[in-house]
Each structure stands twice: as C-alpha cells, then as structure tokens.
Amino acid sequence: MTRLTWMYVVCVGVLVGITGLGLSACGEGQVQEQVIILGGMGPLTGRNSTFGQSTQQGIQLAESEINAQGGVLGKKVRIIFADTESRSDRAALAAGKLINEDKVVGIIGSVTSGESLGAAAQVQQARIPMLSPTSTNPKVTQQGDFIFRSCFNDTYQGRVIATYAARELKLTRAAILKDIGDDYSTGLADAIRAEFIRLGGQIVAEESYSGSEATYKTQLTKIADSKPEIIFTPIYYSAGVTIIRQARELGIMVPFMGGDGLHYDETITLGGKDVEGCYVVSHFINSDPDPKVQKFVADYRVKFSNEPNVLAALGYDAAKIMFAALQRAGTTEGTKLRDCLAQTTNYPGVTGMITFDAQRNAQKSAVVLTIHAGKFEMLKRIAPDPQ
C-alpha cells in the first residue's frame, strides 16, 4: 500500500513538473517577439570542457555588453548555449535542438573542428548562418555557404609557424611530433611540413602518437637521433607539456614550436622551466597594450574574476561580429543575415582586424609568442596573406 502511495505521489509530481515546464516554455514563446535568440554551442562537458566553458564566457560577455547598449534592432539579444559533450555526433544533436526547439536565428559555434564538422550539415540544411569562433580546420567552412569562421585556419597557422622558423629563426632541420587521432593536429602538421619544405627546410623526422600515451620517449628518442634544430608540436597543451618535459629528460634541448593548442596558461604552470624558450603561434595575447584588448581583459576580469584566454577572446569577437551583421541586415532572416555576415570587412576585434574572404574564412593576423620567465611574450605580429 505504502508503495502504491509513493508511486502515486511520484507520478503526480512528474505530471505537475511537466505541465509546469510546458507553461514556462509557452511563456517564453510569447517573450520571443521582443528578443532575438541566438544559439551558442561548444563542449561544456567531456574532455574539451574547459575549451567550451572559456568560449561560452567570452560570448556571455559580448551578450551582456550588447544588451547594456540596448540590444540589436531595438530588441534584447539572448544566447542559448547547447552542450556538445566534446563529441562530433552530439554536436549535430545540439545544433538540431538549437534550430528546431529554440528557433535560433544564428549559431556561434562550435568550438573544436570535429564538432563544427559534425554540426555543419544540419545548419546548412536549415539555412541558418553558423559562425565558428575557434575551429581552425580548413574543411569546416567548405561544408556549405552558411558556415563561417572568425579565426584563421590551420593552413595559414601552419604557414606562419614554418615561415617564422625558417626565416626569422633561420633553421633548416626540423622534426614534427603530432597526434594521429586528431584532425587539428594532422591538418596543422601537413601545413607546417609543406611550407617548411617549400622554404628550403628539411623535415628530418616525423613521429606520431595517438591520444595520450604512458610515455612519449620512444618517439622522442627517434627524434633525438635525427638531430633537429627545432621540433614542431602541432598539438594541445595536455600532451604537449608531458612531451616537452620528457624530451628535456632525454637531453633534447632544442626549442619546441606549436600552434594555438599550446597557448594556455597550463602550458606554463605544468611545464615549468622546461617550456622556457618555446614558441607558440596564436590569435591574441592578453598583455597586448592595444586599448580595446585591455578593456576586454578588464571587463572579463570583473565579470568572471579570472583572466581571459585565447578561446574567450575568439568567442567574444565572434558574438560581436554576429551582432554587427544582424544590425546591418535589419532582419533575422537566414539568407539576408548570411549575406551581411559575408560582407564583414575590417571588423576591429580584440583578436585583430577581421575580414571575411569569398570562402567565408576570416583573413586576420597571427601573433608569434615565446615563453619567457613564466609568461607568454609577443615576438611579432604577422599580417594576413594578401588576397
């Protein structure tokens, strides 16, 4: 009897809950007239959760700023963020939810290239513009004419890395260590190799690993045997710091050079003195004296009480570019918004001047950083390729 009573209570509770939710959803439906709903997506849980959370915070800062200024087209902006769980198949589901349930007019996302590739087909079919703040794999924007990116791609990033090593550091013998299971890593490695060889350099060893390993010393011992002057590591910091520390143990003292995947504070906190003198190519540095960067860093600190990283800055810029395009379009209609987004020219973002080319990729500058005395320091700003 008591059991039955309990079941009854639970059933009633669930029913009341569902009705309550339904009511509140209807309520939101009515408010929809006064707000513009945009979608955001990225990995809030799973192995890349910190990437998604940083990007989301950048987007949230842009959202609260635009609403403080009165919103877009006379309406407030609301950004609904969907979790991709660090999986490309879930990214497609997240995009579906944003499009069909939340009725978003545009999507800012996703964060990693794999997720953006997973979501692209669905977004393209719904004819809603998607602007990825951070996906650097060239294939992302080739998925359709509604897919944009507001960061540079890996082809460009790889060229900057190889050019800096060959021209500025004047090195000719390089090794590559990449993660064979990661699109970002293999794509960036291809770009670095092609450009370094074109500039007359020689790749003396190319080794790989998959995901994470107990030790990377087997590959590093082979690399040491080929006597490179620099080791390119187009990988994320997580494996990166272990690789650099194990290399130092093997007596490999040459510098390492990687892309934006290494531009995290953890590279320094975990790598300690072993990462000193390494080079990193990235989008932005928060010690940039540019007043708009300093304003962004200060505002971010106030809102989230920590330092913005590169993903937060990219998310912030992407959201602002989307707002500007909405303003120019004067409507939330997908095709019109897409056309206005494509016309983005010389947008002054905190990560540099942003202009979209005909392939919907951002043409923008990169920065070359080095790690010195426990900090990232800017060595050079590299202008985008001439069109």
Partner 1 sequence: MAYYLQQTINALTTGSLYALLALGYTMVFGVLRLINFAHGEVCMVGAFVAAFVARAWNQAAGLAPTAEQTWVQAICGFLVAALACGLLGFTIERMAYRPLRKASKLSALITAISISLILQNLAQIQWRINGIQLFGPNGLAFPRIIGTSTPIVWLRDTCGISVVPLELLILGLTAGTLLLLWYIVRYTHMGQAMRAVSISYDAAALMGIPINRTISSTFILGSILAALGGCLYGMNNTKVEPLMGLIPGLKAFVAAVLGGIGNIPGAALGGFMLGIIETAVAAQQIGDVSLSPYRDAVAFVLLIVVLLIRPEGIFGRALPEKV
Nearer to partner 1 by C-beta: 20 or 211? 211
We find the least distance from the C-beta atom of residue 308 to partner 1, in angstroms, to be 15
N- to C-terminal Cα separation, the chain? 78
Supply 178's token pair.
């990449």
Q: Is 90 helix (H, G, I), strand (E, B) or coil?
A: helix
We find the least distance from the C-beta atom of residue 54 to partner 1, in angstroms, to be 11
Nearer to partner 1 by C-beta: 4 or 214? 214
Helix (H) or strand (E) holding 55: helix 49-68
Closest Cα to residue 266, out of 239, 293, 300? 239
We find the least distance from the C-beta atom of residue 193 to partner 1, in angstroms, to be 12
We find the least distance from the C-beta atom of residue 274 to partner 1, in angstroms, to be 9
We find the least distance from the C-beta atom of residue 219 to partner 1, in angstroms, to be 5
Identify whether the C-beta of residue 135 lies closer than 8 Å to the C-beta of residue 110.
yes
Site residues (vs partner 1, CB under 8 A): 45, 47, 49-50, 180, 205-215, 217-219, 221-222, 225, 237-238, 241-242, 245, 249-251, 266, 269-270, 272
Nearer to partner 1 by C-beta: 44 or 366? 44
Supply 320's token pair.
């602002």
Nearer to partner 1 by C-beta: 94 or 104? 94
We find the least distance from the C-beta atom of residue 32 to partner 1, in angstroms, to be 33
Closest Cα to residue 379, out of 273, 371, 274, 253? 371
CB-based contacts of 263: which residues, under 8 Å, 6+ apart? 280, 282, 283, 309, 310, 369, 376
Sheet holding 130-132, edge to edge: 76-83, 35-42, 107-108, 130-132, 147-149
Nearer to partner 1 by C-beta: 51 or 356? 51
Nearer to partner 1 by C-beta: 123 or 192? 192
Supply 176's token pair.
């590559």
